[in-house]
Amino acid sequence: MLRIVVLGAAAGGGVPQWNCGCPVCIKARSGNPALVSTQASIAFSRDGTNWFLVNASPDLRQQLNATRQLHPAGGRLRHSPVAGIILTNGEVDAVAGLLSMREGSPFSIYAHERVLAILRSNSIFNVLGEQNVARRPIEIDRPFEPVLPDGLRSGIEVLPFEVPGKGAWYLEGKAHPAGGEGVGDTLGLRIADKTSGQYFYFIAACARVTDELKGRIRGAPLVFFDGTVWRDDELIAAGLGRKTGQSMGHISMSGDHGAIESFAELDIARKVFLHINNSNPAWLKDSDERNALERAGWEIPADGTEIML
Ligand SMILES: [Zn+2]
């Protein structure tokens, strides 16, 4: 069995974002706790005891404290159920939370060499000493089995694969510490219980749904997918910024070739949006956008939502 907890569903900045006065952020600050969301991450476990995280959001400390499954075991002076963290990209909202795990508990970081190069080139991440925190390279299209802190096998198979996306924005126009082109900058993951065969997909950053991606995820029991923007130009239209979703490497929920349309015929049992920007009107229950999304079989999860497969 696979157990999954959504630690947060929001894109960078969260909901509400500290400096934002958009309608969603205002409402989230005005007595609507259900609208408050931390930045995107999930935890998953096969045995219910050892947990792996996908990405380490800047809200990780808050997420760990809010999630009872991730609390230290009773009777232990120092302990964490977190056995490892798998990084799917090097953006701030995927790696900054690592700095909240510097208190000496052992775990492993799994990331593509391009993301590991970013960690190596930023000396602040040296607070995670190699004696406690192993950095393990993962490769595209090569399945791996994350290990438990005692070195035992987890019984979980993770397959990283390339999805259309963008490199970290803070490296735009700069030399990447790993050099070369951007293959490996944005990963999707297929996560499976090796015993039961149950599996799900995590694809929280994706610029477009290619035919190859459709073929991969068709018929899946569960997909977490990039829900950054409702429409490509929403940040510009709302006066919040100058970037389109596409320029940030994110598909829109709506429109031709948007996520909702692209997934319509893929026969996926449960479709969950993650990495939803606070500019996205679908946050608001009973909005036209939220209604359209739910009619198409999608959901926006609250922090702490638990899913079992
Ligand atoms: Zn906002």
275 CA distance to ligand 1 middle (Å)? 14
Note the pLDDT of residue 237.
84
Q: Which residue has the tokens 């909202």?
A: 93
22 CA distance to ligand 1 middle (Å)? 4
d(CA 8, CA 56): 11
| Contact (CB, 8 A) for 12 and 279 | no
Identify the H or E element spanning 208: none
277 CA distance to ligand 1 middle (Å)? 8
280 CA distance to ligand 1 middle (Å)? 9
238 CA distance to ligand 1 middle (Å)? 10
Residue 40: both structure tokens together: 């995107």
270 CA distance to ligand 1 middle (Å)? 27
Note the pLDDT of residue 170.
81
Identify the H or E element spanning 237: helix 234-237
163 CA distance to ligand 1 middle (Å)? 27
21 CA distance to ligand 1 middle (Å)? 6
28 CA distance to ligand 1 middle (Å)? 9
d(CA 27, CA 29): 5
93 CA distance to ligand 1 middle (Å)? 16
Note the pLDDT of residue 288.
97
Per-residue pLDDT of the chain (309 residues; tens, 9 = 90+): 999 999 999 999 999 999 999 999 999 999 999 999 999 999 999 999 999 999 999 999 999 999 999 999 999 999 999 999 999 999 999 999 999 999 889 999 999 999 999 999 999 999 999 899 999 999 999 999 999 988 899 999 999 999 988 877 788 778 888 887 777 789 999 999 999 999 999 999 999 999 999 999 999 999 999 999 999 889 888 888 888 888 888 899 999 999 999 999 999 999 999 999 999 999 999 999 999 999 999 999 999 999 999
Characterize the bridge pairing of strands 41-45 and 51-54.
antiparallel
d(CA 117, CA 89): 11
Note the pLDDT of residue 246.
86
Distances (CA, A) of 2 to 155, 166, 190, 191, 228: 10, 30, 13, 9, 26
Strands (E), the chain: 3-8, 41-45, 51-54, 82-86, 107-112, 133-138, 156-162, 187-193, 199-203, 223-226, 271-274, 298-299, 306-308
72 CA distance to ligand 1 middle (Å)? 34
| Contact (CB, 8 A) for 39 and 59 | yes
90 CA distance to ligand 1 middle (Å)? 23
Note the pLDDT of residue 247.
82
Note the pLDDT of residue 256.
93
Note the pLDDT of residue 174.
80
pTM above 0.85, yes or no: yes
